[in-house]
Structure 1
Amino acid sequence: MGSKRFNESKGPSQRQLRAGELVRHALVDILAREGFRDPALESVMISVTEVRPSPDLRSAKVYVAPLGGGDAKALASALNKSAGFLRGRLGREIDMKFTPELHFHADNSFDTASQVDQLLARPGVQQDLDGEDD
């Protein structure tokens, strides 16, 4: 009766995870070898950190970040403008029934991790952490 709702809360299926990794690897290869006319993409090394396909595998959220720092939101916006082109290239690279529609999003997890590191490095926090060893 409520099994569909129960499955949605469990997270991505193995099929979604495999498809996401397949798409991620193919996109990394495509982005490494393609030249872009958009100045926001020209000399940027792009990290594809995660691909989350929808349950039907017809669309995918692609999380990206510029390597070496930069504006992840501007990068995602520029990639969204090239999404149709990238989807066409992707369709030639992967063996899936449908080539997913790509939706690029800025991955800010590196920034968040850096902020956590900075917080943990504060003298007051270090003092508290050193006190836990007793």
Structure 2
Amino acid sequence: MARGAHPHSGPSQRQLRVGELIRRTLSDVLQKGEIHDPDLNRIPITVGEVVVTSDLKIATAYVLPLGGQGRDEMLDALRRNRFELRRAVTRAMTLKYSPELKFAIDETFDRLDATRRMFAEERVKRDLSESQDDVPDGD
């Protein structure tokens, strides 16, 4: 389920399509260095996901600098250039309203690393091994 989605309903297909279009557009604009800010252009940025509100007026882009270093500097540069980034997104889309862009750190990779570390613990490996022994073969 996408971030910010209601736990029972989830985002609509339109929200998902718009979010993905914004994600691709932001990725392209940032990769090509189309924003005229040297601070922003020297940071390789990954746009992991864009979550759009149900009215399509606010889009939150979950971003991470390559290598994970300089997160605060990256967020400051993105926020400083949000109006120019919004114009770039607007040019690529055919929506009645251009969504306001917000930026947040994408913590997906941090959670994956934590999960990997947890599964590497001996205690967890032992518990998983024991639970596998309790599963019937299916014969």
TM range (shorter): 0.7 to 0.9
Partner Cα distance (1:115, 1:36) in 2: 37
- TM-superposition CA deviations, 1:85-118 (whole Å, max 9, x none): 1111112222222211100111111101101111
Unmatched tracts of structure 2, length 5 or more: 1-5, 134-139
Amino acid at match of 2:31: A
Identity of aligned residues (%): 37
- TM-superposition CA deviations, 1:39-89 (whole Å, max 9, x none): 3x3332211111111222122111111222224344233211110111111
Residue pair 1:62, 1:105 contacting (<8 A) in 2 also: yes
Amino acid at match of 1:95: T
Identify if the C-alpha distance between structure 1 residues 8 and 130 changes in structure 2 by more than 3 Å, giving closer, same or farther. Answer: closer
Amino acid at match of 1:67: L
Residue pair 1:38, 1:78 contacting (<8 A) in 2 also: no
Residue pair 2:61, 2:101 contacting (<8 A) in 1 also: yes
Report matched runs for 1:1-134 at 5 Å.
9-34=8-33, 36-39=36-39, 41-134=40-133
Amino acid at match of 1:42: N
Offset, 1:38? 4.8
Identify if the C-alpha distance between structure 1 residues 21 and 96 changes in structure 2 by more than 3 Å, giving closer, same or farther. Answer: same
Secondary structure of 2:47's partner? strand
Amino acid at match of 1:79: L
- TM-superposition CA deviations, 1:8-58 (whole Å, max 9, x none): 95121111111111111111111111255353x333221111111122212
Secondary structure of 2:41's partner? coil
RMSD of Structure 2 on Structure 1 (CA): 2.1
Secondary structure of 1:104's partner? strand
- TM-score, scaled to structure 2: 0.79
